[in-house]
Amino acid sequence: MSVRCYARLLAGSFRYGGAFAALGKRRGGPTGARATASASSSSSDSGGGGPRAPDTSLFVPLPVSPATPGPEGDIGAELTRPLNKSEALKILNKFYKRKEIQKLGAENGLDARLFHQAFISFRKYIMESSYLSPDIHIILNDICCGAGHVDDLFPFFMRHAKQIFPMLECMDDLRKISDLRLPPNWYPEARAIQRKIVFHAGPTNSGKTYHAIQRYLAAKSGIYCGPLKLLAHEIFQKSNDANVPCDLVTGEERVLVDPEGRPAAHVACTIEMCSVNTPYEVAVIDEIQMIKDPSRGWAWTRALLGLCAEEIHVCGEAAAINLVTELMYTTGEEVEVRTYKRLTPIKVLDEALESLDKLCPGDCIVCFSKNDIYSVSRQIEARGLECAVIYGSLPPGTKLTQAKKFNDPGDPCKIMVATDAIGMGLNLSIKRIIFNSLVKPTVNEKGEKEMDTITTSQALQISGRAGRFSTVFKEGEVTTMHRDDLPLLKEILSKSVDPILTAGLHPTAEQIEMFAYHLPDATLSNLIDIFVSLSQVDGLYFVCNVDDFKFLADMIQHIPLNLRARYVFCTAPINKKQPYVCTSLLKFARQFSRNEPLTFDWLCRHIHWPLTPPRNIKDLVHLEAVHDVLDLYLWLSYRFMDMFPDAALVRDIQKELDDIIQIGVLNITRLIRASQATSGTVTVPDDFPLQRATITEGMLNAEDLPQAPRAPLPSGMKTQGQRRARGSKSMNSRPGEVQMGRIKGALAARLIQQGLLTQEMLTQLEDEWLAQHNGDTSDSSENTGPGKFKGKKGK
């Protein structure tokens, strides 16, 4: 045997064993590369249709540094000759262009995109390396000399491809880890018992949750799982008031009623915090229809499949009955359905409110943006009426205080302005629900903001807050602010709620850790992407939206954290639209990575404690964000107790902050006026579907927002309470055909399209603005009253 042949055999056995020796032969059958590819293809296709192809755009190539010779020198060059790089380049380019090679790549998991990326990296590695391993050096020299075939490069090419795309090496393992087709099997403790499932179905205010809670209170042990901290607090309070000792567990709080710290037999918790290992006699899962929620649905799925309780009482909309029944069929459990009717009647009125002058005690105006909340509340108080204000970002304590103020018969506050945050978790004495708009900002599957009409389910949930049982109003009423919204509301409410078809799932920390074991160099965001891409679910499930998780993962990627800690930080329940809260999470993670505890003093310096009552709306919004930062600290303190040691002190100042925010909300109208007087600008709502912007001097002053009209308005003009959000349709114009008159610009067009301004307002504004800049302020100053526009220089 010649030295060359021996070297080829030696090099081949180094990686691929004896079969590699046949790679240079071109006789009869396929080459070793083809044989390998055929075997791989055959095995992967043996299951019929096979698993779906992964989204290879998620595969990020790892860098491979050029090789340098070791202490033993360049063995390949010694056995053959130095490599001619220009000849090698020609060989490589010929290899890339061969259709057979591209087909072999596809059979081994390299689609066109991955094949191209792998080749570019492979060619760069060979051309820039001052040393190549003996096996590839000899093969390249043989091909250059005509003693080998270009196809013989394929095993070396695949070896390199698997270096830069390690997921190719372990695709079968990754598919097994991300196989989500049998979620019931994830909970062996629950499968070990035969559970009784009772579905309490009915509309709001039908008593369905009441009956489930009565069974919960009568049981020897029980767990209540609700969607909100307010609901968990309510059941916690109700249970202890009934002399049934009950603990409270939320993401940010643990309250043990036993003085010695022993857990009670009953617990009320937010649904994400429920234990699937602790045995109970009775479990209550509230608002089961949220199992379809694109972000949080996984928590209801986990509770329904995993709770170890002899009886599971499920409460919610009838639209979820079929899905729950099918899910329980897969666990071998039957569902008993109990249906309930609303306890008090509710009536859709035949007339819209149209004017805030027609407000009555017990009215609640529902808006879908903070700016509408601010505007409507200001107009109401301009009429000498007090109003309570509730929206989603307010602390729970402030919401409860506002609700108590509104419900108190002795309090002069008889009007409420709220977002759909009143839809669950608050007991309110409401006579009439008034929809200020039927359009709500939503986020589509691509993460883009849209303005959509509210769904039947949303409309029923909100409308159902009127005329609740045990309040002073024995009958509820529903209407709209604007006359032409009323027929649409009636149409929405007359429809049946669409049946819920699928339940949410979410990758667990353990699954991601197993992924990371196979792909140690991938980022957490990339691991999640690949997991979702490879995941397989059956028709009853969907994988929940992971955009918020990925957002936080990308934000803290540069911080050195172990995978489990990184995963926990990324599941923190924060609003990614709040820059201050996101920045705080970043600082928390950085301090944590240094192994430096986040003490109370450190936190106080970060939030600039002590804080003062807000002077304007901007201050109030900041205080709400600070409250969320304190929530974040408390949430992390229960996951990393040593690193967040001062939870008790933080909870104390959070209560103080809640009181400060309450002062601001009680004086919200004054804050609105102060904001407009100091800034001179009006901000477009946070949920505005287009780019956020401000209307500055020369366009529209803050004080120009309509106030309570004390004088007749010019024909065609509407007050702020009468304006409407219409998405892309308003003013009887088709999208893209808005008539702008003399004032031009994309922002003006958007404001008209959204119903924030009318053409008459813009025309009058320009007249007054031009008059002021021409030095003629007398006319405008005489005619600017409430509801009319003022120029800045005329004030």
Q: Count the helix, strand and coil residues of the chain and give each as a percent rounded to the nearest 5.
A: 50, 10, 40
Query: Could you tell me the CATH number of the domain that includes residue 237?
Result: 3.40.50.300
Asked if residue 269 belongs to a domain, the reply is: yes
* Domain limit, last residue, from 339, 357, 378: 339
- Whether 693 is in a domain gets the answer no
Rg (Cα) of the chain, in Å, rounded? 33
Structure-token pair, residue 181: 């087709």
* DSSP category for residue 758: -
In sequence order, what DSSP letters do the residues of 145-168 get, joined into one string? TTSS-GGGGHHHHHHHHHHH-GGG
If one counts the domains in the chain, the total is 4
Given a contact cutoff of 8 angstroms between Cβ atoms, the answer to whether 124 and 167 are in contact is no
Distance CA(537)–CA(172), nearest Å, equals 16
Structure token pair of residue 226: 């609700």
Q: Is residue 762 predicted with pLDDT exceeding 70?
A: no
Q: Which residues pair with 543 in a beta bridge?
A: 505
Q: Indicate the pLDDT class of residue 72, thresholds 50, 70 and 90.
A: confident
Residues for the chain: how many in total? Answer: 795
> What pLDDT score does 46 carry?
36
pLDDT number for residue 303: 98
pLDDT at 427 over 60: yes
> What sign has the CA pseudo-torsion 136, 141, 145, 147?
negative
Each residue's pLDDT tens digit, 256-274: 999 998 999 999 999 999 9
Domain that holds residue 124: 57-164
Strand partners, 694: 683
pLDDT, tens digit, 9 for 90 and up, residues 504-530: 999 988 999 999 999 998 999 999 999
| Range from 25-39, 83-97, 406-420, 508-522 carrying the lowest mean pLDDT | 25-39
Mean pLDDT of 340-362: 93
Q: How confident is the model at residue 448, as a pLDDT? A: 61
Residue with more model confidence, 624 or 10: 624
Task: Output the CA torsion 101→107→112→113 (10° steps).
Answer: -120
If phi > 0 it is left, if psi is from -120 to 50 it is alpha, else beta; for residue 584 that is alpha
Answer whether residue 485 is part of any domain. Answer: yes
For residues 792 and 701, is the Cβ–Cβ distance under 8 A?
Answer: yes
Percent of residues, the chain, with pLDDT higher than 70: 77
Instruction: Identify whether residues 372 and 331 lie together within a single domain.
Output: no
- Alpha carbon distances (Å) from 185 to 12, 309, 311, 327, 510: 45, 16, 19, 12, 15
Say if residue 486 is in the same domain as residue 454: yes
For residue 172, being part of any structural domain is answered with no
Q: Tell me, what's the pLDDT at 669?
A: 76
Q: Residues near 37 by Cβ (< 8 Å), separated by ≥ 6?
A: 104, 107, 108, 154
pLDDT, one tens digit per residue, over 93-111 is 999 999 999 999 998 889 8
* Structure letter (DSSP) for residue 273: G
CB 585 within 8 A of CB 555: yes
Question: In this model, does residue 218 exceed pLDDT 80?
Answer: yes
- Which CATH number do you get for residue 580? 1.20.58.1080
648 CB burial (10 A radius; 0-12, 13-18, 19+)? exposed
- pLDDT score for 388: 93
Mean pLDDT for 442-459 is 75
CA 691 to each of CA 270, 495, 640, 737, 750: distance values in angstroms, whole numbers, following the listed order: 35, 34, 38, 19, 10
Question: Which tens digits make up the pLDDT trace of 647-690?
Answer: 999 999 999 999 999 999 888 878 877 776 665 443 433 433 32
**Cα 132–Cα 133–Cα 137 angle in degrees, nearest 5:** 65
**The two three-digit tokens of residue 425, written as one number:** 């978790």
Q: Say if residue 720's pLDDT is above 90.
A: no
Structure confidence at residue 574 as a pLDDT band (50, 70, 90): very high
Q: What is the pLDDT of residue 444?
A: 56
Question: Which residues make Cβ contacts (< 8 Å) with residue 692, sequence separation at least 6?
Answer: 683, 684, 686
> Which long-range CB contacts under 8 A does 271-274 form with residues at least 24 apart?
271/225, 271/226, 271/227, 271/296, 271/299, 271/300, 271/303, 272/296, 272/299, 273/249, 274/223, 274/225, 274/302, 274/303, 274/307
Is 738 part of any domain? no
Considering the domain boundaries, does residue 14 fall inside one? Answer: no
CA distances from 315 to 250, 291, 302, 312, 706 (A): 20, 12, 16, 10, 44
Single residue among 318, 339, 360 that ends a domain in this structure: 339
Sequential DSSP letters for 528-540: HHHHHHH-B--TT
**Spatial distance between the Cα atoms of 670 and 616, rounded to a whole number of angstroms:** 8
Same domain flag for 265 and 330: yes
Residue 232 lies in a domain: yes
Does the pLDDT of residue 253 top 70, yes or no? yes
CB atoms within 10 A of CB 655: 11
Question: Looking at residue 132, what is its pLDDT?
Answer: 87
Q: Dihedrals φ, ψ of 287, to 5°? A: 55, 55
Distance from the Cα of residue 120 to its chain's centroid: 37
Residues 100 and 231 in one domain: no
Mean pLDDT score of the chain:
81
Cα(419)–Cα(462) distance, integer angstroms: 9
User: Based on the domain organization, do 391 and 476 belong to the same domain?
Assistant: yes
pLDDT at 63 over 90: no
Query: In Å, how far are 32, 33, 83, 147, 167 from 25, measured between CA atoms?
Result: 9, 11, 22, 9, 31
pLDDT at 125 over 60: yes
Same domain, 553 and 603: yes
**For residues 553 and 524, is the Cβ–Cβ distance under 8 A?**
yes
Specify whether 577 is located in the same domain as 625: yes
Tokens of 114: 């991955």
pLDDT of 603 reads: 97
Q: Which has more pLDDT, 41 or 581?
A: 581
CB 550 within 8 A of CB 528: yes
Section 725-743 average pLDDT? 37
Buried b / exposed e along 183-221 (16+ C-beta atoms within 10 A): bbebbeebbeeebebbbbbbbbbbebbebbbebbbebeb
> Any idea which of 202-216, 388-402, 437-451, 487-501 has the lowest mean pLDDT?
437-451
Tell me which of 339, 356, 377 is where a domain ends.
339
Of residues 354, 365, 355, the one with CA closest to residue 484: 354
Give the start-end residues of each E strand in 271-427: 279-285, 308-316, 335-339, 346-348, 363-366, 387-390, 415-418
Let me know whether 480 and 409 are in one domain: yes
Residues 115 and 224 grouped into a single domain: no
Tokens (6 digits) for 131: 């040393």
> Would the pLDDT of 346 be above 60?
yes
Query: Does 492 have pLDDT greater than 90?
Result: yes
**Distance between CA atoms of residues 93 and 90, nearest Å:** 5
- Report percent pLDDT > 90 for the chain: 58
Quote the pLDDT of residue 794. 37
Highest mean pLDDT among 6-10, 78-82, 323-327, 710-714: 323-327
| Range of lowest pLDDT (128-137, 748-757, 758-767) | 748-757
C-alpha triplet 581, 582, 585: angle, nearest 5°: 90
| pLDDT confidence tier of residue 584, bands split at 50, 70 and 90 | very high
Q: What is the pLDDT of residues 153-190, one digit of tens each?
A: 999 999 999 999 988 888 889 999 999 999 999 999 99
Same domain? For 463 and 373 the reply is: yes
Residues 283 and 351 in one domain: no
Rounded distance, CA 373 to CA 624, Å? 16
**CA–CA distances in Å: residue 651 to residues 61, 236, 383, 648, 782:** 46, 19, 39, 5, 54
Q: Is residue 472 pLDDT above 90, yes or no?
A: no
Q: For residue 401, is it within any domain? A: yes
Asked whether residue 323 falls in the same domain as residue 352, the answer is no
